[in-house]
Structure 1
Amino acid sequence: MTIRGYAHAHPRRVTAVVSAVGYALVLGTFAGVLPIFPAIGERTVLLLSDAIAVINTCALSALLLGYYFVKRGRIRAHRAAMLTAFALILLFLVAYLWKVGGGFEKEIVIEQGQFLAAYADVVYPLYLAMLAIHILLSALAVPVVVHAVVLGLSHDVAELPDTDHPLAGKLAVASWSLSLAFGVVTYWLLNHVYSWVPR
């Protein structure tokens, strides 16, 4: 049996395995038990931060285009846009894990004189709330996104309406888009509006 044939017969099993690998990579990197990323300096961390924001913006654009295309029955364009978004997220994952595993994370600092600094007691919790929603939705979206992709790649177009693909796709677009949007906003606040310190 081919990989496509196995995924066609057992899409949920394949989704579970791929999702588990993704979670293990992320959790292992954050816990410091996966020392697979070469050490990088501050300049590379900053470069990766900028690259991640560009990747996420492109992924969000591809997602929204994919949604637009499927609503108009342009299935091939929809498929291309969604696979582009998925490829960009895989690229994001590599860049993000390398930034965290080989470098460091940043913590926001609101200094006197910066935008709305007088309201730091409001801005800071709002930033944390957006960051929390971004992280939570990113984690929750993984199996939904993977399931939609597995079904899309393992089934013919005519079969997809009779699978979980339409529902998984809607949930994936909603959660993933909101996560990416909040990720880009928090990037701008952290890197271009306020200051930061290594964490």
Structure 2
Amino acid sequence: MNTPTEQLHPPVMAPGDYTRYKIILGGLGIVVPLLVAILFYFKGIFKIDGADAYLRMLPAVNAGLNSLTAVALLIGYYFIRRKNVLAHRAAMGTAFALGGLFLLSYVAYHSQVESTHFGGVGAARLIYFVLLLTHISLAVVTVGLVLFTLYFALTGQYTKHKAIARWTFPVWLYVSVTGVIVYFMISPYYV
């Protein structure tokens, strides 16, 4: 028997072969962070002469995308708490699209521009590196969490969606907010 949510808001995507989808999503959850790391650490291989001059504004763009993602996540949370599923879907779809744009912008920047080193000292340095370490670590996990949360929503597996979203939402929000904080802390040191 369908729940009221399933009756009012049918799945966007036919469930199909769940195992195949889970393997694909699990693979993406691993491959995407690995590709980002490869592009980041082996930037010399993928370097395009002169590209860095055009990409210098991307950290500010990334901070803006992270800010907008955080706002979309909070709006989505607000709407689902009020049982407005359609508005929740729109807000979370917006957060997903902004996250995708952020990922493309982040990879473009970090694959072409040399890393900026934080110049702060004392407590500011400790705070920066704690935020950066937790931000990066959780960003890696966020990819898989977001993909599975979205998958369960699109296939109408609302119980599973709700269960994983309880983890995805705070982690994704933390990653988005700390991304902005890290940007503001390091921005004085950009060349």
Question: TM-score, normalised on structure 2?
Answer: 0.83
- How far the C-alpha of 1:23 sits from its partner, in A, is 2.1
Residue identity in the other structure for 1:9:
Y
Residue 151 of structure 2 corresponds to residue 150 of structure 1: yes
| CA contact 1:7–1:14 (8 Å) conserved in 2 | no
Give the aligned partner of residue 48 of structure 1.
58
Give the aligned partner of residue 97 of structure 2.
87
Can you list the C-alpha shifts for 1:75-130, whole angstroms capped at 9, x where unaligned? Answer: 011111111101111101110001011222211113xxxxxxxxx31111111111
Give the aligned partner of residue 113 of structure 1.
none
| CA contact 1:39–1:103 (8 Å) conserved in 2 | no
Query: Unaligned stretches of 5+ in structure 2?
Result: 1-12
- Identical-residue share of aligned pairs (%): 25
Residue 119 of structure 2 corresponds to residue 109 of structure 1: yes
Q: Would the alpha carbon gap of residues 39 and 72 (structure 1) be closer, same or farther in structure 2, given more than 3 Å must change?
A: farther
Distance in 2 between the 1:88 and 1:37 partners? 25
Give the aligned partner of residue 140 of structure 2.
139
Q: How many correspondences in the alignment? A: 178
Give the aligned partner of residue 115 of structure 1.
none
Give the aligned partner of residue 187 of structure 1.
183
Residue identity in the other structure for 2:181:
V
Distance in 2 between the 1:37 and 1:153 partners? 38
- How far the C-alpha of 1:31 sits from its partner, in A, is 3.2
Distance in 1 between the 2:116 and 2:101 partners? 20
Residue identity in the other structure for 2:113:
G
Distance in 2 between the 1:40 and 1:74 partners? 48
Residue 50 of structure 2 corresponds to residue 26 of structure 1: no
Distance in 2 between the 1:150 and 1:8 partners? 12
The answer to which structure has the higher strand fraction is: 1
- Output the aligned Cα RMSD: 2.2
Give the aligned partner of residue 57 of structure 1.
67
Give the aligned partner of residue 176 of structure 1.
172
Give the SS at the match of 2:83.
coil
Q: Would the alpha carbon gap of residues 108 and 41 (structure 1) be closer, same or farther in structure 2, given more than 3 Å must change?
A: farther
Can you list the C-alpha shifts for 1:129-149, whole angstroms capped at 9, x where unaligned? Answer: 111111111112221111001
Distance in 2 between the 1:38 and 1:178 partners? 33
Query: Unaligned stretches of 5+ in structure 1?
Result: 111-119
Distance in 1 between the 2:145 and 2:14 partners? 20
Counterpart among 18, 28, 33 of residue 9 in structure 1: 18
- How far the C-alpha of 1:196 sits from its partner, in A, is 4.2
Distance in 1 between the 2:16 and 2:169 partners? 22
Residue identity in the other structure for 1:76:
L
Distance in 1 between the 2:53 and 2:91 partners? 32
- How far the C-alpha of 1:73 sits from its partner, in A, is 0.1
Give the aligned partner of residue 158 of structure 2.
160
Residue 110 of structure 2 corresponds to residue 100 of structure 1: yes
Residue identity in the other structure for 2:139:
S
- How far the C-alpha of 1:42 sits from its partner, in A, is 4.9
Residue identity in the other structure for 2:106:
Y
